[in-house]
């Protein structure tokens, strides 16, 4: 049973389908592991054993009857604490929403439940999802699997930790500027950022709605594909026979390769060589206009976030962590015309970028330019907190600004991921490519 805590969600699903794993026993195994784990309260905001066991019992009965709702029917997963859960507090990592209890599940959670997924509980996160580091002194700061004194990456910090520490078979998070991919990379997981608008945001506590996306953090590309399909109510991507022979990949030199720490740089170079050895054709490209796009996030993200949250924040600003409060208030420095002009400029750059990469199957870059920062330094050094947060999200933010879908894969070097970006709404072809890359990197 202990092996169940490290198996992929897909393998657990196959075990259930073959009658080798009982969903109730599997659920209890995970709940017992959560209860026994010394870092439980830094990872889970709240566990939902009654709901989990009821869902697992129903899955068990379906499995015995030979009628399963999906390949992951009966598999236990965690949910970031910004997905509404009926009758269960959803607080988005902030005291501003303390004791907020929704009446209904978020749409993607309802879809997942209808397809048999078992909800283990809600995981900690950066306050209102507005940090890539995962440091949250208001609620809790989840640990990194490779260094418990370091942050796990945000804002889906507890989501990543729940999977990496064997306390969930997979996790569902959100990504506005890197919040699925950074914690996935730092915890040696697969993380899929879906195209904005592809998965429903109904019942998801917002940050910047035009950039917010929903995505899985998991142990394999197959898991990512299955979870996407389940949340969407669609068929999963066909990954059979995927290979890298003749696939064209572009290393993005603009912005993404600047000021890399040594370890992520070496991990990326080694990963690129493995992809080449597997038959991929890889060349370097530059898109100079990206240099103009990156500063636009300062207006687009903060203006939208502060516009959504201003009234709530200013009623009780002392309830917030100062660094997050300061970041939200930056939105107040941008006018309506600033915001409109920034979007017009970004739309033009998106067209230029799309033409520049049109001949490639994916654009590749290091997921994060640095390793997970130490918690103690973030607590005491304001300037370092600000610079580390911006640098952490730099590479992933390219995908959000350019409107792409993207996926991070472990490179084999601890806390170092390689990011593959593809055109909007091309998740299925990206997943096939990622499955082949996953095999090459293994």
Cβ partners under 8 Å of residue 284, min gap 6: 250, 251, 253
Cα 172 to Cα 106, 199, 212, 228, distances in angstroms: 12, 12, 13, 10
| Residue 210 within a domain | yes
pLDDT of 34 higher than 80: yes
* Residue whose token pair is 């905001």: 45
Count how many Cα atoms sit within 13 Å of the Cα of residue 346 in the half-sphere of its side chain. Answer: 24
Residue 300 belongs to some domain of the structure: no
| Residue 188 domain flag | yes
Q: What is the average per-residue pLDDT within 87-113?
A: 98
Q: How confident is the model at residue 153 (pLDDT cuts 50, 70, 90)?
A: very high
What is the reported pLDDT for 302? Answer: 98
**168 is in which domain, residue-wise?**
2-232
Residue 5 CB coordination number (10 Å): 17
On whether both 346 and 410 belong to a single domain, the answer is yes
φ, ψ of residue 255 to 5 degrees: the values are 70, -55
Residue 78, H or E segment:
strand 76-80
Task: Kindly state whether residues 31 and 169 are assigned to the same domain.
Answer: yes
Confidence (pLDDT) at 2: 58
CATH number of the domain that 436 lies in?
A: 3.90.1300.10
Q: Give pLDDT tens digits for 376-418.
A: 999 999 999 999 999 999 999 999 999 999 999 999 999 999 9
307 in any annotated domain: no
Q: How many residues does the chain have?
A: 442
Q: 6: how many CB neighbours lie within 10 A of its CB?
A: 11
The alpha carbon dihedral of 313, 314, 315, 320 has a sign of positive
**Alpha-carbon distances, residue 3 vs 6, 21, 26 (angstroms):** 6, 12, 11
Same-domain pairing of 270 and 143: no
One domain for residues 197 and 344? no
Q: How far apart are CA 159 and CA 122, in angstroms?
A: 8
- Asked whether residue 153 falls in the same domain as residue 14, the answer is yes
Domain count, the chain: 2
Contact 300, 400 (CB under 8 A): no
Express each pLDDT in 80-90 by its tens digit: 999 999 999 99
Domain shared by 119 and 222, yes or no: yes
Claim to verify: residue 17 and residue 125 sit in the same structural domain: yes
In whole angstroms, give the CA distance from residue 127 to residue 205. Answer: 11
Tokens of 31: 């709940």
Helix 336-357 vs helix 394-402: crossing angle, to nearest 10 = 90
Residues with Cβ within 8 Å of 58's Cβ and at least 6 positions away in sequence, in order, are 116
Binning the chain into helix, strand and coil, the percentages to the nearest 5 are 45, 15, 35
Could you tell me which residues are beta bridge partners of residue 252?
Answer: 285
Q: Are residues 207 and 252 in the same domain?
A: no
160-209 tens-digit pLDDT: 999 999 999 999 999 999 999 999 999 999 999 999 999 999 999 999 99
Tell me if 315 is assigned to some domain.
Answer: no
Same structural domain, 14 and 115: yes
Considering the domain architecture, whether residues 227 and 272 belong to the same structural domain is answered as no
124: region left, alpha or beta (phi > 0 left; psi from -120 to 50 alpha): beta
Q: Can you give the pLDDT at residue 1?
A: 59
Task: Give the sign of the dihedral formed by CA 242, CA 274, CA 160, CA 49.
Answer: positive
Active site (catalytic) residues: 80, 155, 179
Q: Is residue 22 part of a domain?
A: yes
Alpha carbon distance 167, 47 (integer Å)? 11
* Residue 361 in tokens: 């199957």
Query: Is 4 a residue whose pLDDT tops 90?
Result: yes
CA-to-CA distance for 440 and 436, rounded, in angstroms?
A: 6
d(CA 92, CA 108): 16
Q: 228, 196 in Cβ contact below 8 A?
A: no
Give the three-class secondary structure for 6.
coil
167 within domain boundaries: yes
CA distance 238 to 227: 13
Quick one: tokens of 190?
Answer: 């697969």
Tokens of 324: 């997050």
pLDDT(66) > 70: yes
pLDDT > 70 fraction of the chain, expressed in percent and rounded: 100
Q: Is the C-alpha dihedral spanning 387, 393, 398, 402 positive or negative? A: negative
**Residue 369 lies inside a defined structural domain of this protein:** yes
Residues 303-362 have pLDDT tens digits of: 999 999 999 999 999 999 999 999 999 999 999 999 999 999 999 999 999 999 999 999
Whether residues 335 and 208 share a domain: the answer is no
Average pLDDT, the chain: 98
Distance CA 282, CA 426 (A): 20
Does residue 336 sit in the same domain as residue 430? yes
């Amino acid at each position: 049973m202990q092996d169940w805590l490290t198996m992929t969600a897909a393998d657990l699903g196959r075990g259930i389908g073959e009658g080798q794993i009982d969903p109730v026993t599997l659920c209890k195994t995970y709940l017992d592991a959560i209860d026994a784990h010394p870092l439980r309260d830094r990872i889970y905001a709240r566990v939902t054993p009654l709901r989990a066991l009821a869902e697992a019992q129903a899955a068990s009965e379906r499995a015995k009857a030979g009628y399963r709702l999906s390949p992951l029917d009966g598999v236990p997963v965690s949910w970031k604490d910004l997905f509404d859960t009926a009758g269960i507090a959803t607080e988005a990592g902030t005291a501003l929403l303390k004791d907020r209890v929704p009446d209904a599940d978020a749409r993607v959670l309802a879809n997942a439940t209808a397809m048999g997924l078992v909800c283990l509980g809600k995981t900690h996160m950066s306050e209102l999802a507005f940090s890539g580091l995962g440091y949250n002194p208001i609620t809790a700061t989840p640990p990194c699997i490779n260094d418990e004194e370091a942050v796990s990456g945000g804002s889906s910090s507890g989501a990543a930790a729940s999977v990496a520490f064997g306390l969930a078979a997979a996790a569902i998070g959100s990504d506005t500027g890197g919040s699925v991919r950074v914690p996935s990379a730092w915890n040696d997981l697969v993380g899929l950022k879906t195209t904005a608008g592809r998965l429903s945001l109904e019942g998801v506590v917002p940050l910047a709605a035009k950039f917010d996306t929903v995505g899985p953090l998991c142990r394999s590309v197959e898991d990512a594909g299955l979870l996407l399909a389940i949340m969407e109510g669609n068929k999963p991507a066909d990954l059979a026979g995927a290979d890298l022979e003749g696939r064209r990949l572009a290393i993005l030199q603009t912005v993404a390769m600047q000021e890399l720490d040594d370890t992520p740089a070496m991990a990326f170079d080694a990963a690129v060589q493995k992809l080449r050895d597997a038959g991929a054709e890889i060349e370097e490209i530059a898109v100079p206009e990206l240099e103009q796009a990156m500063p636009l996030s300062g207006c687009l993200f903060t203006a939208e976030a502060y516009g959504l949250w201003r009234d709530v924040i200013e009623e009780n600003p002392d309830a917030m962590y100062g660094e997050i409060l300061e970041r939200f208030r930056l939105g107040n420095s941008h006018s309506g015309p600033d915001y409109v002009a920034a979007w017009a400029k970004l739309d033009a750059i998106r067209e230029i970028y799309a033409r520049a990469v049109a001949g490639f199957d994916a654009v590749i870059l290091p997921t994060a330019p640095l390793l997970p920062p130490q918690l103690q330094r973030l607590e005491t050094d304001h300037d370092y907190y600000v610079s580390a947060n911006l640098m952490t999200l730099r590479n992933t933010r390219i995908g959000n600004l350019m409107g792409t879908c993207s996926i991070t894969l472990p490179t084999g070097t601890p806390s170092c991921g390689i990011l593959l970006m593809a055109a909007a709404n091309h998740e299925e072809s990206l997943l096939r490519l990622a499955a082949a890359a996953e095999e090459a990197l293994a």
